Amino acid sequence: MLKWHYQQHRKDGTVWTSEAVFTGEYRNAAQGVVAGFLVGEPRAAIEDETGRVIYAVDAKGAATADAVKLFSTVEMAGAR
């Protein structure tokens, strides 16, 4: 079982991080990213203990390597 939180880069330049920690499988984390996606706002599920990106989408909603890189910086990974 994975434990994760969500992060989203908002259009106003701020970063939103969920206060809740979620538990489930990879598909649950990915579904949460897609379900909460807003056009123009990259979003990711971040593993709570390690800061590893579980699943991420870019501003267009595409799951790309660049989307993962956006959330894999030292400043972002695990930031709560």
Express each pLDDT in 31-56 by its tens digit.
999 999 999 999 999 999 899 999 99
Report H helices in the chain: 26-36, 65-70
- Entry pTM: 0.87
Q: What is the DSSP letter of 55?
A: E
| pLDDT for res 77 | 46
| Dist CA 27 CA 54 (whole Å) | 10
pLDDT value for 72: 84
pLDDT at site 13: 92
